């Protein structure tokens, strides 16, 4: 029944699972963008998942020119106190104060819940490539036509990085992550 969109039972409207998580205050988003990229330039986002929370995530990107996105599971990045820039995580339900449980090491030597993720990681390496997606033409992106086809249920207590590399000069790119969390 959770997949029934717009179906009515009596006076009740059923929402799909992802929409319901927005209403519950457990749906989040974060994005990073670089509007001045050359051929081979990179943008990225990194974080660690908490051990006891299920993270259901969809990663999308857009680019001005040809580019490709890679999702890494279990990578590392430089710095005992993290690297890069903190990007605030936004709750998609603006009426609640729930915060994401994703972990970052941008502020501390260890990973902590801080309401942000790492961006512009330095020394990103290792890990397993679990997905790659390509954009081949100008001014295109990779929208997810069906969440079920592009959603990842991430492993707990694991570091992840999402990276976009441009494959042509005079480019721009954006990474957008959308997820919901279940305890």
CB atoms within 10 A of CB 7: 11
Q: Confidence class of residue 5 from pLDDT cuts 50, 70 and 90?
A: very low
Per-residue pLDDT at 152: 94
User: For the chain, how are helix, strand and coil distributed in percent, rounded to 5?
Assistant: 5, 50, 45
Terminal CA-CA length for the chain: 21
Residue pointed to by tokens 């996105």: 69
Report H helices in 15-99.
17-24
Task: Tell me what the mean pLDDT of segment 70-97 comes to.
Answer: 86
Q: Confidence class of residue 21 from pLDDT cuts 50, 70 and 90?
A: confident
Q: What is the largest CA-CA distance in the chain?
A: 57
Task: Tell me what the mean pLDDT of segment 150-175 comes to.
Answer: 94
Per-residue pLDDT at 6: 45
Read off the pLDDT of residues 25-66 as tens digits, 9 standing for 90 and up.
889 999 999 999 999 999 999 999 999 999 999 999 999 999
Does the pTM exceed 0.95? no
Task: State yes or no: pLDDT of 10 exceeds 90.
Answer: no
Task: State yes or no: pLDDT of 4 exceeds 70.
Answer: no
Read off the pLDDT of residues 86-142 as tens digits, 9 standing for 90 and up.
899 999 999 999 999 999 887 767 888 889 999 998 889 999 999 999 888 655 665
Per-residue pLDDT at 111: 87
């Amino acid at each position: 029944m959770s997949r029934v969109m717009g179906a009515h039972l009596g006076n009740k409207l059923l929402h799909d699972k992802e929409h319901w998580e927005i209403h519950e205050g457990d749906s989040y988003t974060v994005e990073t963008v670089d509007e001045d990229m050359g051929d081979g330039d990179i943008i990225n986002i990194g974080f660690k998942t908490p051990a006891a929370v299920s993270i259901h995530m969809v990663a999308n990107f857009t680019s001005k020119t040809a580019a490709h996105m890679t999702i890494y599971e279990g990578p590392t990045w430089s710095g005992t106190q993290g690297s890069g820039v903190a990007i605030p995580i936004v709750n998609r339900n603006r009426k609640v104060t729930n915060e994401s449980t994703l972990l970052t090491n941008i502020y501390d030597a260890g990973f902590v819940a801080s309401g942000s993720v790492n961006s512009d990681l330095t020394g990103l390496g290792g890990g397993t490539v679990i997905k790659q997606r390509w954009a081949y033409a100008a001014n295109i992106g990779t929208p997810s036509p069906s969440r079920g086809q592009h959603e990842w249920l991430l492993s707990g207590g694991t570091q992840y990085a999402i990276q976009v590399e441009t494959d042509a000069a005079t480019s721009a790119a954006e990474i957008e992550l959308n997820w919901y969390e279940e305890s």
